Every structure is written in structure tokens, then in C-alpha cells.
Chain A
Amino acid sequence: MSSPAALSPADSGPVETRGRCPLLLLAGSAVAWLALASVLALISGIQLHDPAFLGGCPILTHGRVQALAETAFVYGWIANAGLALVLWILARLGGEPLRAANWVAAGATFWNLGILLALVGIASGEATAIPLLELPRDVQPLLLAAYGAVALGGVLAWTGRRRDVMYASHWYAVAALFLFPWLLSIAQVTLLWFPVRGTLQAVVAGWYAQGLWTLWMAPLALAVAYYVVPKSTGRSIASYDFASLGFWCLLFVGAWTGGRHLIGGPVPAWISTIAIVAAATLLFHYAIIWLNLRGSGGLGGVPLQFIRFGLLAYVLGGLLDALTAIRGVAEVTQFTHFDEAQQELAFYGAVSMLLLGGLYYALPRLTGRPWAYGGLVRAHFVLTAGAVAVRVVALGAAGLVQGTALNDAAVTFPEIAARTHTWLLLASAAQAVLLLGNLLLLVNFFKSALCPYYAAAVAAVRQTQGIAAEAPVR
């Protein structure tokens, strides 16, 4: 099955012997969720400029479709891909085969089962209407337990590492593994099981949403970036001695941005002021990331292209975050499509592109053979990069138009809808292109990872039954 001749000598490692199955399970689920999330996001996007689209079906009413798309994207695609890559990186850096592989496989299965249950729940009306925590309440404990099982493999790989040194990917990966369960359990308890009173719920929800971004998604993506870049280019990280400063800055400052979306809201002013200050201070972290990872190689292969795009989007997103946190700017961009554009830039442009780069890098090592279709890999990059850029610009423009119109009391809502119509059409078209790219990835993944297994399984069965593989069929 594995053909070590195709892999370079720098790649040989015992890691993949035990870790292959569960990690491929995670990666495959991720790719499938990405495709589904793209479909749902397309429906949701079309409904923004054409409200009657599929609106008759209660499952596909706009609010629910948006919750479905967000859940599938964050807890389906990003979680699975992030965990797969981070576990793989920790195991490789540890130098040992993946421990607790059975736990990881079981955890992955139950995580994806839980997400499926969550989506069914949202479609039938159990969504919590909390941004980034739309998962129905009763599914969340299952997800926590499953996450714990998966994270166990990563934690054991970290504690049992051969060389007692830690690299930047270690810090970010361990941070992501540990912080997510704490974030999710606190949010769950204070919002859903024993809800706190009044707008305190909004504060907790904001703390969770920003924590999810800065303490979980960004570390997952950065762990991948810090690993793939030096491995591919052969050059050490520039100014590596500052990398730990960037790490601690993200961790300590990141969670304080919780009040980011409560500017002018029904909470005391200090909450949003601290968030604005934190968003500005976080610029230090982005500066260090830029310093460390900007030299991601000249032409580079496709994984490096993904990673370079992702890093650019990450730093740009950080700048935009600090800019739109300023109250004068927030007055225009708050509650508009601009927030959506920022989220697209962060979740898709930054984290997803970094994870995709990692996926394109890691899969050949997991399966032992290269990707099946090189053309599809290139096409995926071109389509995704172009579509994300177009989408961010279109949604941003729509948001600015909407924001300035909202601030003028004379402009009615039908008028606002008319003004933003073209930009939203453009954004939907770009979303359709994204969907196409992700379908290409799905096809490529299926051919690369699953077909060899199928062929090998067939060969094994034939062998046990004493049928020679080359025997012609009469």
C-alpha cells in the first residue's frame, strides 16, 4: 500500500502506521463537511438578495440555513481538519506513532455523529440563536466528550515526545487542544444549562465567540503554518526568538476582545472599550506572525501557496479587526454585511486556507501516495483564492453601502436592499465558485484516499480466497 520511494527521505517516520485510519477519518469528514457547508452557505447567500428562494420549507428558512452553514463549517470542517492536522503534527514532532489511536477514531466518529445530530436539531428548531454556538443544547455534552477522546491522542503525543524541546507548533497545538473544552463548557453552562440574567448572556456569548476565534481556530491554523513552512522551504523561521511573544500575546489579549460586537449595546461601556483596546494590542501578535512567516518561499508548491494566502488574509484580517473596532468606524460597519466580510476573511481566507495548505501537504504522508489529480489541486487553489477575495470585497462593499444608508434615517429598508443587491449577487456567485472548488477537493480526496483502500481491500479479499490478482475473468 505505501510506496516509500515516492516520498522524500526527509519524510520517513513511523507516525503513520497507527495514526493513518483515525486521521484519515477526520480528514475525510472534514472535506465532506466543507462541501456541505458550502452548499448551505450558497443557499443562505442567495436568500440575502432573493428572500423567496427556498423559503417555503421550514428547514431552509434563512435563520436556520445560516445556523446550519455556520455549524457545518466551524464544527464540521474546521474542527475535523484542525484536529487531524494538529494531531498529525504533534505525533510527527514527538517522533512516536500516534498513541490512543482507537480513542481518536472513536472520538472522531462520535464528534461527527454529534455534528450530524446538531444539524438535524437546528433544522427542526432547536438552534440556540447564539452566534457561533448554534449547536442544540443537548448535543453539546456529547461533543465535549468526543473532543476529549480525540484530543487525548494529541496530548499523549505531546507529553510523550522524544526530544524534550517544544517548537512553536507545539504551543499552538496544545493551546487549541486544551482551551476549546474549557471555552465550550463554560459557555454551555452559563448560556444554556443555567442561563445567566439578561444581557450578561450577550457578554458570555461574545467572550465565547471571540475566544473560539483567537484561542482555538487561530492556534489550529498557526500550528499548521509553523510546521509546513519550514518543512517545505528548509529554512528556519525568521526572528524565531520572538515567536513565543506572539503566542502569549494572542493568548492573553485575544480573549479580552469578547465585547467586540457589543459596541453601543446594552452593556456598560467598559466592556466594549476593553475589547477595542485588546483588538488594537493584538496587532503586536499579527506583527510577529508576519515577521516569522512572511518568507514562505519563492514559487513554492500548492500547499505553500495556500499557506501564503492564508497568512496574508490572517494579518489583513487582524488589521481590519483593529480598524473596525474604532467606534467611529464601527458606527458604520456594525450590524452590516461588513461583519460578514470580516468573518469570511478570518474563517475562510485565513484559517481555512491554512488548513487546506496543511491538508494538501499532509495527505500524501498519511496515505503513502501522492494526490490523485494534480490539476484539481491547482484548480482548487485558483478557484478558492479568487472566490474568497471576491467575496470579501463584495460583502465589504455591500456592508459599507448598507452601513451608510442605515445611518441616514431617511433611507428605507427596501431602498437599502436595492442598493446592496448587485454586491450580494456578486458574493453569491463567488460562493458558487467556492462550492465548485470544494467539490473538486471532495473528488480528489475520494480518489486519493479511499480508492487505494478499496483496491487494496479487494486485493486482500482475493488473496485470502486464493484467487490470483492477474487471473483473467472467464
Chain B
Amino acid sequence: MNPPAGQDPTYQPAAVTDAELLAAHEKLLEKQPDDRAHYKLMPLGLLFFFSGLILFAATYLNRYSGHFDPSIYNENALPTKGGGEVKIDPIVLGKRLFNQSGACVTCHQPTGLGVVGTYPPLAGSEWVNGPEERVISILLYGLQGTVHVTGKSFNAAVMPSFGASGFGWSDDKIADVLTYVRQEWGNKGGPITADQVAAIRAKVGSRAAWSESDLLQIK
């Protein structure tokens, strides 16, 4: 039934009854007699289209889902095999340790220049850039008494121990903070490894805080 010409906007007449509508579509779903003996293009086209979409989906999922790993937030990344310890740059760790409140920064200041007359500077310090064993020993056991740094003399404060008798820092922590200090503020000392710290700890055992003269014995 064709809709009547000159549409009336106030009322859209229905061309079929509901029963006719249902019956007509019911009939469409029944098996049609094969009146033409060739393929209908439509289902083939839709099949190809759907297959193409599934292919895209599978490829995209394989490439960008990070294998559904919960720790992959970057879709280009893949989960690391073995799940080993993630290595963080020791200088970054060392900086964090240095800046912890109550640790190094409190006295030696974020600039590494210390406080005139009270806390010795680390920037350009011959103790920091000198022999590794010496600087590791300072951290492990502390330093007290007068000390001469960059030509000036400091006697007001005591350098606490960061080893077993003091803050109890591990070999890794001491190594990291020393690595940081030895390359910051223009210092040119090399990195320190945790093994070096452990060796000194084992060699010396436990002792009281160093004095400057004893430290200068270490080469």
C-alpha cells in the first residue's frame, strides 16, 4: 500500500495492521523456496565484512592489550619475562635518600654546601672525592672531632653513623647515597657499589666514630 500523497503532518496513517506486520515478517523468516539458482550476494558480503572485523579485532588485541597483564598501562609495552627486580637508577635512589628528612640534607643542605662554621660542605670536598674506603668508613661509623674540609675547619657537630651502630642503613642504601653525592654539585668521584660497602663492614667489624687523623691513615 502506498502512503497517500500530500502528507498531513498532524497524522501519519498506518499502511498495514499489526497482525499483517507480524505475519509478513514471520513469513520472511521461514525457509524460502530456492526460486533462483544462484548465490545471494548479501550473506556473502556480510560474512566477509564480519570476518574482516574479527581479523582486525584479533590482531589489535594481540598487539595492544599487553597480554591482559595488570601492570601494563602502556599499550605498546609487553609484560617483562621472568618478572625480575626492576632496576632503578642508583643516583635517583641516592638523591631520594639524601633528601629524606632527618638524613643528610638536614645538615649538608640541598646545595651540598653545608652551613658555614657548623656543617662541612660536600661539594668539592676532598673527603667525598677521595679514596672510596675513606668515604665509606665515614658513613659506616661516623666522624667526630675537628675536621678540615676545603681549607676550613669544622668542629661544632658530629657526623652520625649510618651503619649498624647508628641509623642502620643497608649496604645498598649507603652505596646509593654515596654514588649520588660523588656525582652531584660538580663532584667527580666514581660510583660506589654495595659490595665495596659490605667488604669494609666485614673488614672493620664494629668501632667507634673515626677521628680525622685515623681516617687520613686510610689510603
Q: Which residues of A contact B (CB under 8 A)?
A: 6-11, 13, 92-93, 95, 163, 165, 167-168, 230-234, 236-237, 239-242, 245, 266-270, 272-274, 276-277, 280-281, 283-284, 287-288, 291, 297, 299-304, 327, 360-361, 364, 370-375, 377-378
Contacts and interface: CB of A to CB of B under 8 A. Distances in A.
Contact of A269 (B21, B46, B53, B74): B74
28 contacts: A7-B11, A10-B13, A163-B22, A165-B22, A167-B25, A231-B15, A231-B16, A231-B18, A232-B12, A232-B13, A234-B3, A236-B25, A239-B42, A241-B29, A268-B68, A268-B70, A268-B72, A270-B68, A273-B75, A276-B60, A277-B57, A288-B46, A327-B64, A364-B10, A370-B10, A370-B11, A374-B9, A377-B10
A301 to B, nearest CB: 4
Interface centre among A234, A274, A299 (most CB of B within 10 A): A234
Contacts of A8: 13-14
Contacts of A239: 42
B68 A301 contact: no
B71 interface: yes
Interface of B: 1-3, 7-26, 28-29, 42-43, 46, 49-50, 53-54, 56-57, 60-61, 64-75, 77
Contact of B22 (A11, A167, A277, A297): A167
A10 B11 contact: no
A302 B69 contact: no
Given A10-B15, A268-B73, A281-B57, A230 B21 contact: yes
Nearest to B67: A270
Contacts of B65: 269-270, 273-274
A206 to B, nearest CB: 16
Contacts of B15: 10, 231-234
Contacts of B12: 232, 301-304, 360-361, 364
A167 B75 CA distance: 42
A241 B14 CA distance: 23
Q: List the 4 closest pairs (A to B, CB-CB), nearest first.
A: A234-B15, A370-B10, A370-B11, A269-B75
Given A241-B29, A268-B66, A269-B74, A284 B22 contact: no
